[in-house]
Amino acid sequence: MAGGRRRQLGGVDRLPSSRWRVRMFDPGTGRRVSLGTFKTKAEAERAFASATADQQKGTWVAPEKGRVTLDDYVWQWLDTRLTPRGERLRPKTRELYEGFLRLHILPTLGPVPLARLTTAGIRSWHAGLLADGPGASSVAKCYRLLRTILNTAVEDSLIVANPCTIKGAGVEPAEERLLPTLAQVGGLAAEVQPQFRALVLLAAFGGLRRGELLGLTRRDIDLLHRTVTVRVQRQETKGGHHLVGPPKTDAGRRTLVLPASLIPEIEGHLDEWVGPEPDAPIFAGKHGGPVRVVTWQREWTRARKALGLEGVRLHDLRHVAGTMAAATGASTKELMHRFGHASPRAALRYQHATAERDEAIADGIDRILEVSQRDGEADTNVIRFRDAGG
């Protein structure tokens, strides 16, 4: 019995060359595979004993699997990767990942077999990126992507353990940013072309993301109840293809109440710039279709440059909205609801902010704006909203 068992698992035998060969039974394929040859029988037996122990512990990796290079594996990973919601990677996400891989990961690590990726090698690659790469934030993103890919390689039994074990390497450094003042927001809203004024105001006082803003249609605006509903987001690939789909998380689908002082602005925008159809885009291009990202970005860049605010990002206006909402006394759960943040705690998914409190938050923002306008009567950049009466 012992001999039969040994033959099934493999063993050590001497070749005509006088070297000693080690073979193991691969339970994944049902075949015996070679672990290589050794000069002495003792070396071969040690290798066989080590591999047998690894099999018993469930940590053994067949040699041919370990020879798969990172370059070969990542494209298979991209093709089969699913999100936590069980969906394929979105084109924009894949485009981002491919950029990180081609520019920052594969040039150094691509030719390396998975089994030969070591923590020391990963640390050297990481240090090189920090020294000469795209910036600390992007380096952290690259490291997280590589770690995720290699976690899947562990699941696929291609490697025993993930070598990405550098503490803190995947953490993006906190970025200290000076948010634009309300006067600066008012200046930007006044500087952009009139058809984009409402976009700036919705970003700054509704807190919508760019993709959410560009995905809005007439049906998403309810002037009577002062609400805007985020159903989809619109993005654009580098090739100019429009991508429309639901927000990345369930929390992104939401209805929020707008400050009352913003409603005349939105109503005027609908009358002047939006078609009557329910699916007419809120922010349209020359021919009535959704405005292209490059068109908006060109105008946004011009306006910022004109005001000397080149460092202000559209996403900074979302932070302005968040800061004002927090100043009204909104709870963490209410802020999560209003701004579409997904919680890391599963229990919070089932806790919803009430419509009454969301309206109170919007009213609180109104009060902040009223004070700002009173205090800045002499400042031409203070936001002047349209009168509700026209």
Q: What is the 3-state secondary structure (H, E, C) of 288-321?
A: CCECCHHHHHHHHHHHHHHHCCCCCCHHHHHHHH
Pairwise CA distance, residues 232 & 256, whole Å: 14
Residue 268: closest CA among 321, 194, 212, 203: 194
pLDDT, position 68: 87
DSSP string for residues in 108-141: HHTTSBGGG--HHHHHHHHHHHHHHSS-HHHHHH
pLDDT, position 323: 85
Look up residue 374 and give its two tokens.
Answer: 């009173």
Q: Name the CATH code of domain 182-375 (choices 1.10.1370.20, 1.10.443.10, 3.50.50.60, 3.40.50.1390).
A: 1.10.443.10
**In Å, how far are 32, 62, 88 from 29, measured between CA atoms?**
8, 10, 29
Q: Domain 2-60: give its CATH code.
A: 3.30.730.10
Is the pLDDT score of 241 beyond 60?
yes
Look up residue 119 and give its two tokens.
Answer: 């923590």
For 167-223, what is each residue's pLDDT tens digit? 999 988 766 677 899 999 999 999 999 999 999 999 999 999 999 999 999 999 999
Half-sphere exposure (Cβ direction) of 114: Cα atoms closer than 13 Å: 30
Run of H or E residues at 374: helix 355-375
Cβ(71)–Cβ(110) under 8 Å? yes
Is the pLDDT score of 374 beyond 80?
no
State the catalytic residues. 209, 248, 315, 318, 341, 350
Q: What is the mean pLDDT of the chain?
A: 85
Is the pLDDT score of 19 beyond 50?
yes
Q: In this structure, which long-range contacts are made by residues 328-336, counting pairs with CB atoms below 8 Å and at least 24 apart in sequence?
A: 328/360, 328/361, 328/364, 328/365, 328/367, 328/368, 329/364, 330/357, 330/361, 330/364, 331/357, 334/358, 334/361, 336/251
pLDDT, position 167: 93
For 71-81, what is each residue's pLDDT tens digit? 999 999 999 99
Cβ(151)–Cβ(162) under 8 Å? yes
Pairwise CA distance, residues 233 & 50, whole Å: 53
- Tally Cβ neighbours within 10 Å of residue 119: 13
Domain(s) labelled CATH 1.10.443.10 in the chain stretch across 182-375
pLDDT (average), residues 1-10: 50
Pairwise CA distance, residues 388 & 390, whole Å: 5
Collapse the DSSP code of 261 into the 3-class scheme (helix H, G, I; strand E, B; otherwise coil) and give the result: helix
For 69-113, what is each residue's pLDDT tens digit? 999 999 999 999 988 778 888 888 899 999 999 999 999 999 999
pLDDT, position 247: 83
Residue 23: closest CA among 31, 15, 32, 14: 32
For 22-42, what is each residue's pLDDT tens digit? 888 877 677 787 777 888 999
Look up residue 322 and give its two tokens.
Answer: 């968040």
Model confidence band, residue 343 (pLDDT cutoffs 50, 70, 90): low
Residue of 240 and 258 predicted with greater confidence: 258
For 142-168, what is each residue's pLDDT tens digit? 999 999 999 999 888 788 789 999 999
Q: Which homologous superfamily does the CATH classification assign to the domain defined by 70-155? A: Tyrosine recombinase, N-terminal domain (1.10.150.130)
Domain(s) labelled CATH 3.30.730.10 in the chain stretch across 2-60
